[in-house]
Amino acid sequence: MKILGIVGSPRKGSSTDLLVDMVLKGAVSKGAEVEKINIGDLNIAFCTGCMECRQTGVCRITKEDSDDDLAMIIEKITETEGLVLASPVYMRYVPGQFKNLFDRLVSQIIITPGKNLTEIKCRIPGKRNSVVIATCGNPDIKMASETLEFLKTTSNMCGNGGTVVSELAAGGLMLPGQINTDKRTLLDLASNLNLPEPAVDNMMKQYKSIKEQAYQGGQKLALLI
Ligand SMILES: Cc1cc2nc3c(=O)[nH]c(=O)nc-3n(C[C@H](O)[C@H](O)[C@H](O)COP(=O)(O)O)c2cc1C
């Protein structure tokens, strides 16, 4: 069984990336084979809206640009039985680079007029369950709701109606890799933000809990395959 993690943060050493690592670790502990892709490492041209793919199922850019990575991503999704989609919140939504990947993946979606969202099918065969993760700077994770909704809808489409087995959101994240950072760094951050010292203990507790949930989400995903 193979699980693919797609990290939507363009930032190196990001908390989103670290949380995907935790999910994949959990999956490996239950026997899964895993792979991770970071959006910042991909070359995905913008969708030009030509709509040619609606008739052919193949994106025109894929045919014309051999350096474009969409075909490689489709191949990787084809090989997997589970997906982990994770993204930071940018202006209440996913980063443009990540959104663009899914705009291009519309070439794989079979849209039948009159059918509702849950009936939308993907040309990439097979059902895939998923774990979705959103991270945001606002301590209130309600800020991540549109991002989570996007991740759930897209994983559902790419997974031909598979189940989202775990949905996680982490808030209050600003520094790179903050979810794994030490107490000293968090105390400095709290002091810059005029937060009281006990807030740091609270942050550390929350980070521990979300990482545990990510690990368990990965285990669940692997066991359901
Ligand atoms: C361009 C940009 C836009 C952002 N917009 C929001 C936002 O609308 N709401 C929010 O809570 N955080 C926002 N943030 C903060 C990120 O969501 C937050 O730092 C996130 O944890 C970064 O994750 P990463 O380190 O995994 O990339 C934004 C950050 C950037 C760079």
Residue spans of the chain under pLDDT 70: 117-118
pTM of the complete model: 0.96
pLDDT of residue 118: 62
- Mark residue 20 as left, alpha or beta (left: phi above 0; alpha: psi -120 to 50; beta: remaining): alpha
pLDDT at 33: 98
Q: Using CA positions, which residue lies closest to atom 22 of ligand 1?
A: 88
Is the CB of 5 inside a 6 Å radius of any atom of ligand 1?
no
pLDDT tens across 90-112, in order?
999 999 999 999 999 999 988 77
- The pLDDT of residue 117: 62
What does the pLDDT look like over 214-224, one tens digit per residue? Answer: 999 999 999 99
Measured between alpha carbons, how far is residue 60 from residues 39, 45, 145 in Å? 21, 11, 33
- Please tell me the distance between residue 219's alpha carbon and the centre of ligand 1 in angstroms: 27
Indicate if ligand 1 lies below 6 Å from the C-beta of 96. no
- Cβ atoms of 108 and 124 closer than 8 Å: yes
pLDDT at 203: 93
Q: Specify the fold of 2-223.
A: Rossmann fold (3.40.50)
Q: What is the per-residue pLDDT for 112?
A: 74
Report the alpha-carbon distance of residue 91 to residue 206 in Å, rounded: 23
Domain boundaries, the chain: 2-223
- The pLDDT assigned to 114 comes to 72
The CA distance from 205 to 96, in Å, is 31
Ligand 1 pocket member 38 (CB < 6 A) = no
**C-beta 9 within 6 A of ligand 1:** yes
